[in-house]
Structure 1
Amino acid sequence: MSMNAIWNATAGLKATQAAINVVSQNVANSGTAGYVRRTISTVSTEGNSGVTVGAVTRSFDAAALKQLRSETAGAAYTATRADITSQLDKLYGTPGSATALDGTFNTFTRSLQELTANPTSAAARSTVLSNASALASQINAAASNVQSLRNGIEGQLATDTATASSLLSNIATLNAKIQNTTDDSSKADLQDQRDQAINSLSSYMDLSTVDQRDGTVTVLTGSGVTLVDRGNAATLSFDGHGTLNASSRYSPDSSQRTVGTITATTPGGAKIDLGAPGVMRSGSLAAQFELRDTTLPQAQRQLDDLAAGMATALTNKTVTSTTNPAQIDIGGMKPGNTLTIPVTFSDGSVRNVVLVAGTGASKPVDPSVTSDSTSFAQTFDVTRVPGDTENAIKDALSAMRTQATAAGYKNVPNITATATGSVVTLASNTGTTVGGAGASITQPNSANDFANGYPQMPLFTDGTSKLYTGSVDTSAQITGFAQRIAVNGNLANNSSYLTASGANDLTASGGRAQSLFTSLTSTQQTFSSASGIGGITAPYTASVAQFTQDIISAQGSAASAAATLDNTQQVSLSTAQSRFSQSAGVNIDSEMANLIALQTAYGANARVLTAARDMLNQLLQI
């Protein structure tokens, strides 16, 4: 017998024993989370005199792993959104029920109807005030809960940031160990641990990975920010801003930002704002930023608009201009009242110019606090009306043009204004056509003024004693108004104002109550496009009653859509998990079949050696 046969059999025994060990390891770890099935390769030795053991490698589908991480991020994103939107929807109650927001509103307006029919009843007046207070309190509570949800997210962002940063550090540490490990089996174990860490990280943010030749991986966000490069990892930190309120907002300017953000600090010291829009596109962190900075502030704005609509429906009158020329009387305007001028440009596009009454020099106004968030908005000094109305409006229009030009707008309104007393005449100029104008003017002069401008009255106030006008002098009065709206405290001592027959006549009649009812249920008002009701590109016109129902409907639809999307995404995740498991998991039946084949091969090699031993023994006995 050739010595090659002995060498081949010996090499075969060693290779088969190594393969049996790998199969045994696979079977033993079949239930271990994150374990990827191992395979071992064999290679021919020089001169084809046998085989030797090759590398132990992990067997999985790289495309399936990539899909799993993508679906994990997507599922975390949709689950986070579905959870918060469901909680938000519950704040308004079941639509149509007596305790829902629209039910409480309807109870209040019905009591106004009943007071109309029975104006001399002290009990009916008391019921109106009680129901109005219940409505205001429900709006207060809903708005406070919206901010509570934002605060909860702020706290969760801090916790999740710390966890994600720890995972990045762990991935970098495992990269370094893999780079310095020569034992294939130990390296495979480390790679399993690293992939598990990356999979866990993918639930927080969308990721991509790049395999390096030395066995390490580079981890990047979906937008391309490098988080781990071999043994180096960025550190993540969250600068929480404590308790948030309705005015807390994200800004890329850290001096203007009043909410927390995640900062990634690279090993080289560079700092990257991961909370900026578009940096993270999926995962729970992206969902939390979107909810905190967009979804919940929009819900707050809806409630603020509702509160403002309730207050101004009962205090303001609408004045419209004549046409050709556009003339309008703005007498009686108070800080916060608005003069809206629709303009048409030479290319056919239409945009509103909103002049907001204020005190002092003209200044730009964030259009999101007006009824039209796409408008050109500027204050004018209302204290100069009617004595110097013309110059007050001219100064505002001039400042607005300067602001629009500096901002790079293609179309800049070009309007001229003249005035006689408080009557303003608006005219077109080159490139601009004025179609008319409208103003909203608060009639009462203060929270305890129930006579001026009858039948308007300040039933709802900012707190219990401050007239709501929408002022923007120091800050936007509308911001957070839903948390402050209350029934006018001056009515508690004299509810007869609800049924006054005239400006100076407290004789009971149903006229004022009927007017209040009509103002809330039938009169059309303009609500801001910033609320998202009816679209985000133009103001929305509806009665306060309709707007209340629209809010509940919008939140219900959003919650339903989020739940449906989450259900779909969870199915996608389950499919991705199954696909990866099929490629990387241990199949006991398959492994046992491999084991039987290896045992047969082991026996064959062993018989060769046994035969060689017997032959040598015979030779030695000769």
Structure 2
Amino acid sequence: MSLTGALNAAISSLRVNQANIQVLSANIARANDPNYTKKSLSRESIYLGENQVGGVAIANYASAVNDSLRKQWESLIAKDGTTSAQNKYMQQLQQVLGTSTDQAGLPTLYTQFLTAWQNLQTSPDSDAAQQMVIQYGDQLADEVARIAGAVDAIDRDIKTDIEGSLEDFNGLLEKLFEVNLRLRSSQSGSAGQTELIDQRDALVRQISQYADVRTVERENGAIAVFTASGLSLIDGPPSRFTYDGVNIFRSDDPTQAVDLLFRDGKLRALLDLRLDNSAKGLPASSDPATEIIRKMRSQLDAVVSVMTTTIGQSTTFSAAYDGAGSSLRIEASFQTTIAATPASAQHSTVFLAGDLRPGDIFEVEINGKIFSYTAQETDTSLDQIAAGLAARINTDTTLGVTAINGVASLQIVANASDVPFSILSRANGELPELRSSFFTGTDRYTFQVNQALLDGTQQLKKNAANDVVNALNATDRTFTAAGIALSGVSYKGIFTGMVGTSLLGAKFILDQSKFNAESVTQTEQRYQADVAVNLDEEIANLQVLQNAYAASARLMTVVQQLFDTLQAAVR
């Protein structure tokens, strides 16, 4: 071995050791980076010919890999993305309804509504008891409207989330495409390629949060990405996706929805939450996190229906109220028939009914002015009462209205178009009783207590309380809506069943979300244990390399001394 050969061998060894130390230093510096995998350097011998000293060189750089665990981790990330999104909005819905049936507004308000009717049953002449019935009925209707509005807000939030998530999804595909381009042009086995592969795998994991993916490796570390159903996400230029408010489309084919080709991930969960197959005539999904907006809307409308319908297996609440007889011997009720418009005049009709007796006092209050007529011995029909009231009203020319008497009725007509007026009628100091429709409206938006009760122009039927309480307590009712079917229940059972069904669904999703999150964590830990940096191992390797580096340096020192000695001898 020549001195020059020995020196070259020592220098090449120093260079390789220096590169190896740099790799180990990078491993140690990024030991806590979850997107970094352990790097290593392979050596190869340099052959310069027979009887020639070659030395060593860097063969290639490599990253620690575990493909099976990596793919399992990506799959679990997609499942976690699904249940995390589901849980987020299911919990929001539970906050709207109440986190338990005891705290939920609908069952609580219904119970208060029932109690108010029971108090009215005990004290039918109590004005306070009447007002409590109306008050809790109004609060119950307001709660339905509040939930309906909150469900609509959640629906809008989910829609916005889909749009934002899809934009993020498209951005991640673009980034992965750029990494693929750099990988294709990188030197195989280089340090730069191993860094790009880490970036590639980190991007795939981020994409997995939105959709279930399968990867196929192409040249030089670049990859193609597909959903589990075969939808191409990136294989060359990336696909780009758009959302029209109902379906997801690929930008290059805006006529063919691809929703069903996403089977897991956040996008699938969000699409399912807003899914509504009612237009297709399909029943609601049995999955608690699918079609939740449709289910809640359907159930709220069904609640309105059971509170307003007069048809049922047993007497309904509305049928019980409507069927009760009036407790008033004589009454004067009015009905507004046409609202004031620029083209027509407002007019109302006061209807007189009952058993007329001398001394009965009839009052009509218009715009705060009271006009009264007391029945005389000579008044034998309600037509005469109407005529007497009309005569008194028409004496006041400042009201802006004209009274026209008819058959047991009195019509009040505004003297000009688009001029409103207020009216209130009484007989013997009693407001007229509301004959029917305690609740009005046909859906969750229009459901309310009859306006005549709210504005105080009519009162409840005092004779209705017994029948209403019996109807409210009956336990043979059925309740069917999207996502729920109850039988043999009372009205309270309907309200608690609706909230309870949603609560059970939310609990199921919460448990699934926790399980999937734990599975992701455990799989990540297993993956990191296999491919991540072990500090103790790296420090031990670093010490070995430092010793090798010192040995090579020592060899160079010895060669230098030999050169010095030889040069001195020649001189």
Question: Does 2:274 correspond to 1:273?
Answer: no
1:152 positional shift: 0.7
Match of 1:142 among 110, 125, 147: 147
1:103 positional shift: 1.1
Contact 2:101 2:499 (C-alpha < 8 Å) held by counterparts: no
1:10 positional shift: 4.1
| Cα distance change of structure 1 residues 279 and 519 upon mapping to structure 2, 3 Å threshold | farther
Q: Tell me the SS of whatever aligns to 2:31.
A: coil
Match for residue 458 of structure 1? Answer: 437
Question: Does 2:256 correspond to 1:217?
Answer: no
Contact 2:109 2:140 (C-alpha < 8 Å) held by counterparts: yes
Match for residue 300 of structure 2? Answer: 303
1:161 positional shift: 0.9
Correspondences of 1:124-135 after superposition (within 5 Å)? 124-135=129-140
Distance in 2 separating the partners of 1:270 and 1:619:
83
Unpaired segments ≥5 residues, structure 1: 240-258, 320-454, 463-467, 469-480, 500-508, 535-539
Distance in 1 separating the partners of 2:104 and 2:498:
15
1:564 is aligned with what amino acid? D
Distance in 2 separating the partners of 1:282 and 1:146:
24
Contact 1:13 1:605 (C-alpha < 8 Å) held by counterparts: yes
Distance in 2 separating the partners of 1:544 and 1:513:
16
Match for residue 36 of structure 2? Answer: 35
Contact 1:125 1:498 (C-alpha < 8 Å) held by counterparts: no
Match for residue 521 of structure 2? Answer: 574
Question: Does 2:531 correspond to 1:584?
Answer: yes
Q: Tell me the SS of whatever aligns to 2:41.
A: strand
Unpaired segments ≥5 residues, structure 2: 276-290, 315-433
Distance in 2 separating the partners of 1:41 and 1:487:
82
Distance in 2 separating the partners of 1:317 and 1:291:
32
| Cα distance change of structure 1 residues 98 and 58 upon mapping to structure 2, 3 Å threshold | closer
Match for residue 532 of structure 1? Answer: 484
Distance in 2 separating the partners of 1:212 and 1:279:
23
Contact 2:302 2:481 (C-alpha < 8 Å) held by counterparts: no
Question: Does 2:207 correspond to 1:228?
Answer: no
**What percentage of residue pairs aligned between the two structures are identical?**
25
Contact 1:179 1:215 (C-alpha < 8 Å) held by counterparts: yes
Contact 1:73 1:282 (C-alpha < 8 Å) held by counterparts: yes
Distance in 2 separating the partners of 1:98 and 1:589:
54
1:261 positional shift: 2.6
Match of 2:250 among 252, 260, 264: 264
Question: Does 2:187 correspond to 1:203?
Answer: no
| Cα distance change of structure 1 residues 541 and 2 upon mapping to structure 2, 3 Å threshold | farther
Match for residue 25 of structure 1? Answer: 26
2:246 is aligned with what amino acid? G
1:133 positional shift: 1.0
Match of 1:290 among 254, 272, 283: 272
1:62 positional shift: 2.1
Contact 1:150 1:292 (C-alpha < 8 Å) held by counterparts: yes
Match of 1:489 among 445, 451, 455: 451
Distance in 2 separating the partners of 1:99 and 1:167:
41
Contact 1:125 1:495 (C-alpha < 8 Å) held by counterparts: no
Contact 2:37 2:532 (C-alpha < 8 Å) held by counterparts: yes
| Cα distance change of structure 1 residues 497 and 10 upon mapping to structure 2, 3 Å threshold | closer
Q: Deviations over 1:352-385 (max 9, x none)?
A: xxxxxxxxxxxxxxxxxxxxxxxxxxxxxxxxxx
Distance in 2 separating the partners of 1:200 and 1:605:
45
Match of 1:89 among 88, 94, 100: 94
1:461 positional shift: 1.5
2:479 is aligned with what amino acid? F
Distance in 2 separating the partners of 1:579 and 1:289:
32
| Cα distance change of structure 1 residues 94 and 76 upon mapping to structure 2, 3 Å threshold | closer
Work out the number of aligned pairs and report it: 429
Between 97-106 and 208-217, report the one with greater CA deviation. Answer: 97-106
Q: Deviations over 1:233-282 (max 9, x none)?
A: 0012222xxxxxxxxxxxxxxxxxxx43322235xx576534x3x42222
Match for residue 500 of structure 2? Answer: 553
Q: Deviations over 1:60-83 (max 9, x none)?
A: 322222222222222222222222
Question: Which 4+ residue blocks in structure 1 deviate beyond 6 angstroms?
Answer: none
Correspondences of 1:43-82 after superposition (within 5 Å)? 43-46=44-47, 49-82=54-87
Q: Tell me the SS of whatever aligns to 1:482.
A: coil
Q: Tell me the SS of whatever aligns to 1:91.
A: helix
Match for residue 519 of structure 1? Answer: 471
1:459 is aligned with what amino acid? F
Q: Deviations over 1:571-607 (max 9, x none)?
A: 2222122222223322222212111111222233344
TM-score (norm 1): 0.64
Q: Deviations over 1:431-472 (max 9, x none)?
A: xxxxxxxxxxxxxxxxxxxxxxxx99422211xxxxx4xxxx
Contact 1:205 1:285 (C-alpha < 8 Å) held by counterparts: yes
1:618 positional shift: 4.9
Q: Deviations over 1:327-352 (max 9, x none)?
A: xxxxxxxxxxxxxxxxxxxxxxxxxx
Contact 1:310 1:520 (C-alpha < 8 Å) held by counterparts: no
1:79 is aligned with what amino acid? S
User: CA RMSD for the aligned pairs?
Assistant: 2.8
Between 51-60 and 169-178, report the one with greater CA deviation. Answer: 51-60
Distance in 2 separating the partners of 1:520 and 1:561:
32
Q: Tell me the SS of whatever aligns to 2:261.
A: coil
TM-score (norm 2): 0.69
Match of 1:175 among 170, 173, 180: 180
Contact 1:94 1:100 (C-alpha < 8 Å) held by counterparts: no
Match for residue 420 of structure 1? Answer: none
Contact 1:68 1:576 (C-alpha < 8 Å) held by counterparts: yes
1:590 is aligned with what amino acid? E
Q: Tell me the SS of whatever aligns to 1:218.
A: strand
1:6 positional shift: 5.3
Q: Deviations over 1:409-433 (max 9, x none)?
A: xxxxxxxxxxxxxxxxxxxxxxxxx
Distance in 2 separating the partners of 1:193 and 1:75:
21
Match of 2:546 among 584, 590, 599: 599
Distance in 1 separating the partners of 2:105 and 2:267:
32
Match of 1:498 among 454, 461, 471: 461
1:298 positional shift: 1.0
Question: Does 2:158 correspond to 1:153?
Answer: yes
Match for residue 346 of structure 2? Answer: none
Distance in 1 separating the partners of 2:86 and 2:202:
25
